[in-house]
Amino acid sequence: MNLKTQGFVLLDVDVVALNNAGKSTTSNFDNAVATKKIYKNGRAYTYVSGQAWRYWWREALKANHGWALSPITRDSKIAFTEANPIVYADDDVFGYMKAAKDVKRDDDGNPILDKKGKEAKEDVTVTRVSPLKNSAIISVASVGTVENWSSMARQEGDSVPYSKEEYSAIMKGMFSIDLFQIGTFATYNKTGYKNLTEKFKAGAMENGATEIEDPFVKTKNGEPQKLIQISKDIRTNRVVDTIAALKTISGGAMQTNNMADVTPKFIVLATMNSGNHPFSHIVKNDGVKSEKAVLNIEGLKEVLSDYKEQFKGIIFIGKRNGFMDEYNEELKTLEIEFPNVKILSINQAIDQYCEQVKNQIS
């Protein structure tokens, strides 16, 4: 069964500038930096790009889970990783695109020459759709940012003023992990499907990978295409590490003066047999200026009821004590109304979901 982890998080940050948008066009200061924000229904919402969140996530996996990240090569105007998901877990989980040609070599490793005496080259382009998909992290309520000016004044002469745009907000983000796709690679020549070069495919098979039938894609003759799959232990560890990294994830711009804890203060973790993400509206904004973030308990109940056939196992909801405590009693009643819901602390929810997902990976 093609199962997916569906995750939803809330962050709670104060006086931050997590993801900047470059030079401000509205400031009177020459050295002014704007924060990223977007508009909806005439209101401004601050956000962290999905790319920035993924950067934080990779760094947390490197720092706290011992992942050796795939080396990056810069070539003219493009950059790419090693594109070797057998060796590098981040290539597996975060995907890649590497458009390149390599020198053909004989069995002894010597370059093969073409008719003109030049080194013959072969196309080694590979792509992989990321099994981990994530949204941007965006403020739930509309946010009025403030421009805070500072100055460098320790040198002789005039001070050097600069400014940055800061805000406080409750922010939401979503992610999904394709549990089948982790550690499973296609090699047929189709955009997004050719994950491995012949060299890496051969290396994987020599190191214990197995060949399985693709349940979705067939050849012109109607035969299932073949996939390369690494061991269940490695696939499970990569999934568990990716989810567990949320307990210690850190990042964001201006950390020296605007340090913020970007670990979740509210989290929902569930396994589903469908690809849609149902939790996007379990928080909403309220107030005359849409300025207050509120938990949409009725919306959460609706999701739990409407998608009950798609949920597999327990749905773990974690909340940090001190964050939105006004909803504690309503959340606890969910355990009575929905036997497949468990309310815990943040880290307990992550740990217990990770134990569950170990048994859901086939």
Question: Rounded distance, CA 197 to CA 284, Å?
Answer: 46
Q: What are the respective helix, strand and coil percentages of the chain, to the nearest 5?
A: 25, 35, 40
pTM above 0.85, yes or no: yes
As given in the structure block, the two tokens for residue 261 are: 């804890």
**For the chain, domain boundaries:** 4-95+130-183+230-359
Instruction: Copy the structure tokens of residue 265.
Output: 């203060």
Long-range contacts of 188-195 (CB under 8 A, 24+ apart): 188/217, 188/225, 188/226, 191/127, 192/127, 192/128, 192/129, 193/127, 193/217, 194/125, 194/126, 194/127, 195/85, 195/126, 195/127, 195/128
CA 12 to the chain's CA centroid: 18
pLDDT, position 336: 95
Say how far apart CA 280 and CA 299 lie, in whole Å.
Answer: 10
**DSSP labels for 202-246?**
HHHHHTT-EEEEEEEEE-TTSPEEEEEE--HHHHHHHHHHHHHGG
300-306-307-313 Cα dihedral, nearest 10 degrees: 70
How many angstroms separate the CA atoms of 196 and 315, rounded? Answer: 35
Q: Which residues, including other chains, have CB under 8 Å from residue 222's CB and lie 6 or more apart? A: none
- Alpha helices by DSSP H, the chain: 50-65, 89-94, 198-206, 232-244, 255-258, 297-306, 328-337, 346-358
CA–CA dist 3, 344 (Å, integer): 23
Q: What are phi and psi of 348, to 5 degrees?
A: -65, -40
Q: Which of 291, 17, 21 is nearest to 167 (CA)?
A: 17
State how far the Cα of 215 lies from the Cα of 268, in Å rounded to an integer: 29
Structure tokens at 272: 């589903």
Count other C-beta atoms under 10 Å from residue 59's C-beta.
Answer: 16
Contact 136, 49 (CB under 8 A): yes
Longest dimension (CA), the chain: 79
β-partners of residue 22 are 34
Mean pLDDT (10-residue bins), the chain, 362 residues: 94 96 86 94 96 97 97 87 94 91 76 81 85 97 92 88 93 97 89 83 92 88 92 97 98 90 98 91 95 96 96 98 97 96 98 97 92
Residue position matching structure tokens 């490197």: 62
Amino acid present at 191: T
Specify the pLDDT at position 47: 97
Nearest residue to 357 (alpha-carbon basis) of 244, 212, 214, 209: 244
Contact 193, 186 (CB under 8 A): yes
Q: What pLDDT shows up at residue 25?
A: 86
